[in-house]
């Protein structure tokens, strides 16, 4: 029974570290884009305007993909980390690279992602989402000790 308690305490400690990293990641993602994801989502939920509804969907996909990508990195970091600091470092690395990937995407596309998402281009939001998930999977695979 005491052995199980150790596992539960370890779970709680790692949870207490990963949830704030994820929350900080969400905050970082929302301040590093010129559009305000939560405002777009809220406006899309409170209107029948098709453009605002589409912008809300595009922003939801984009932000959701970044969150999933970071969660994948964090899951791998939990699995591979040798201690809590190792987990924190990989969480920060994952966060930074999700932002870098977004702006690389912005740079290489023939259109401006930062304009397309607030204008309701859902396909760009979905593509950005999948790119963030793919980046998270690749970063997760690269984590080792």
pLDDT digits 0-9 by tens, 33-83? 999 999 999 999 888 999 999 999 999 999 999 999 999 999 999 999 888
Could you tell me the pTM of the whole model?
A: 0.90
CB 77 within 8 A of CB 11: no
Q: Is the pLDDT of residue 1 over 80?
A: no
- Residue 6: per-residue pLDDT: 86
Structural domain for 126, as ranges: 2-142
**What is the distance between the alpha carbons of residues 58 and 105, in angstroms, rounded to a whole number?**
15
CA distances, 80 to each of 2, 10, 17, 18 (Å): 24, 14, 15, 14
Taking the C-alpha atoms of residue 56 and residue 27, their distance in angstroms, rounded to an integer, is: 18
Q: How many domains does the chain have?
A: 1
Name the residue among 60, 78, 58, 62 with its Cα closest to residue 12: 78
């Amino acid at each position: 029974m005491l052995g199980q308690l150790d596992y539960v305490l370890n779970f709680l400690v790692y949870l207490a570290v990963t949830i704030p990293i994820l929350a900080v990641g969400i905050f970082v993602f929302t301040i590093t884009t010129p559009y305000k994801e939560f405002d777009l989502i809220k406006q899309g939920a409170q209107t029948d305007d098709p453009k605002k509804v589409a912008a809300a969907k595009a922003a939801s996909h984009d932000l959701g993909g970044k969150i999933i990508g970071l969660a994948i990195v964090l899951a791998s970091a939990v699995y591979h980390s040798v201690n809590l600091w190792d987990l924190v470092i990989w969480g920060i690395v994952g966060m930074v690279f999700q932002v870098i990937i977004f702006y690389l995407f912005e740079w290489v596309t023939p259109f401006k992602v930062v304009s397309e998402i607030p204008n309701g281009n859902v396909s760009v939001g979905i593509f950005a989402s999948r790119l963030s998930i793919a980046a998270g999977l690749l970063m997760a695979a690269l984590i080792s000790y």
